Amino acid sequence: MNNAFLKSFTTLQQVYNERAFSSIALNKTLHFCKAQDKALITKIVYGVLDNDIKLDYVISKYVKKMPKGDTLIFLKMGTYCLMELSIPFYAVVNDIAELAKVTEDKRLVGFVNATLKSIAKTIKSFDNYPTDELEKVSVKYSSPLWALKKLVKDYGKDTAIQIVSTVAENRTTARFANGLDAEQIQKLYNLQVEPTPFADAFYIDGKLPTLDSNFTVQSLSSMAIAHICANGANGNFLDCCSAPGGKAVYVKQLRADIAVTACDVHEHRVQLINAYASRMGVQIQTHTQDMTQYHEPFDSAFDTVLCDVPCSGFGVLNNRPDIKLFRESLDISNLMKLQQQILQNCSKYVKVGGRLVYSTCTIFQHENWQNINKFLKNNPNFTLGTIVLPQFPSVDGNSTYQFLPHKDGTQGFYVAVLTRKE
Ligand SMILES: C[S@@+](CC[C@H](N)C(=O)[O-])C[C@H]1O[C@@H](n2cnc3c(N)ncnc32)[C@H](O)[C@@H]1O
């Protein structure tokens, strides 16, 4: 049996059937599998999840009745390999049919085999997409139709289509402490690197070395928010929704002179912040705290308060393709309520004259600008402030900014800087 196919299948089962996070399920699988299978398993698992809507649609055109459960997973894996990977057709069909034998259901094996054979014959020229323009875009780029319609309302049709059809540059970025330059990184870690807008961060290719106190993987979006918080900060900094600590730890590394307090509602996630701070060798105060609830000792105590709120994650789909599978339109209004509660409560922790920084990793205006607009209307003691981010000249000097993959070359994320007047 093809081992990479088997491991991909069991990982996908966990995501589809048990709603496991794709990155967590995949990491567990990769931990126990042979080195030579890792790349293919990663490609199949992320490829299938990322193309879920398209795969459903294509398969529906080849069957009388849409299959469910494991049968559908076999067909999605097979169809994805036939469409996107350069594995010979006969090998895909045979290996997936062989894999289907784990079900011990002969009729199912026959069905999977016959369906994949018929898909294999015509898949390279498949063009039987919906005639409606938005439905076609939704299928082609596997973007949920409700999300696409929401983006059309937010940005207009052309930009919405551009957003979903642009795959954000998905190169891994890492930052290095102690001023290591490209040559030293090559020598120490055997890594080829290319510069990013941040002097201490690089695009990296190839196998990642073991993380240590000099080296950590972090997205450009996360680094940008940390820089915005660190630039011009003084005194005390509070990160309200901090786990696993990416931004809080980086702020402390950028600005050893400021005191950093990091909170999260989940105790086990606060432990992640502690572990990360300890690996990077920085000292920050951590608290397990529900930041929707008022905490008197924090009142007007911080010069900068960051609310990096829980969000729909639609700006980081390339890292978390399972988001597209399980999020629904209704989730956004529930999230908005939580985001408003956190923002409203944590605004009390900003000193007069201090900054309130709000950020999300999503592209929906309801969670971004509309939230800020609502907050400003209800809180006349706050006004729009200034983002300081010289590494991104188009952003620097704005009060709020929506990063979009097709124009900024980053993931989709949002930031607003507000100032407390009184
Ligand atoms: C977007 S993540 C934060 C990422 C983090 N700032 C970083 O850079 O690594 C949102 C976090 O908010 C936390 N959270 C959710 N509800 C919360 C609440 N009511 N109070 C505090 N934290 C909360 C979640 O546990 C999650 O860790």
Domain definitions of the chain by residue range: 3-125, 172-216, 218-420
- Whether 345 is in the pocket of ligand 1, judged by its Cβ within 6 Å, is no
Q: pTM higher than 0.85, yes or no?
A: yes
Exposure of 404 by Cβ count < 10 A (0-12 exposed, 13-18 middle, 19+ buried)? buried
Q: CATH topology of 3-125 equal to that of 218-420?
A: no
pLDDT of residue 169: 57
pLDDT of residue 178 exceeding 90:
no
- Whether 232 is in the pocket of ligand 1, judged by its Cβ within 6 Å, is no
What whole-number distance in Å separates Cα of residue 264 and Cα of residue 76?
38
Per-residue pLDDT reduced to its tens digit, 346-368: 999 999 999 999 999 999 999 99
pLDDT of residue 63: 96
- β partners of residue 236: 259
Cα-to-centroid distance, 82 and ligand 1 (Å): 39
Per-residue pLDDT reduced to its tens digit, 81-133: 999 998 999 999 999 999 999 877 888 899 999 999 999 999 988 989 999 99
Per-residue pLDDT reduced to its tens digit, 264-311: 999 999 999 999 999 999 999 999 999 999 999 999 999 999 999 999
What is the best residue among 23, 241, 250 to mutate for testing ligand 1's pocket, by most ligand atoms within 8 Å of CB? 241
pLDDT of residue 370: 95
Higher pLDDT, 121 or 32: 121
Residue type present at position 347: S
CATH class of 3-125: mainly alpha
Of ligand 1's listed atoms, the one at least distance from the Cα of 308 is: 6
pLDDT of residue 371 exceeding 90:
yes
Higher pLDDT, 318 or 264: 264
- Whether 312 is in the pocket of ligand 1, judged by its Cβ within 6 Å, is no
Mean pLDDT, residues 12-35 taken together: 91
Q: What is the CATH number of domain 218-420?
A: 3.40.50.150
Cα-to-centroid distance, 71 and ligand 1 (Å): 37
pLDDT of residue 54: 95
- CA separation (Å) from 170 to 23, 86, 140, 206, 364? 15, 21, 19, 13, 20
pLDDT of residue 316: 81
Exposure of 319 by Cβ count < 10 A (0-12 exposed, 13-18 middle, 19+ buried)? middle
- Whether 265 is in the pocket of ligand 1, judged by its Cβ within 6 Å, is yes
Alpha-carbon torsion 289, 294, 296, 302, what sign? positive
Mean pLDDT, residues 377-391 taken together: 97
Cα-to-centroid distance, 292 and ligand 1 (Å): 11
What is the best residue among 251, 252, 264 to mutate for testing ligand 1's pocket, by most ligand atoms within 8 Å of CB? 264
Of ligand 1's listed atoms, the one at least distance from the Cα of 293 is: 19
pLDDT of residue 38 exceeding 70:
yes
CB under 8 Å to 254, separation ≥6 — which residues?
226, 227, 230
Of ligand 1's listed atoms, the one at least distance from the Cα of 222 is: 8
Give the mean pLDDT of the chain: 93
- CA separation (Å) from 134 to 112, 125, 145, 329, 364? 31, 21, 7, 17, 17
Token digits for 390?
């010289």
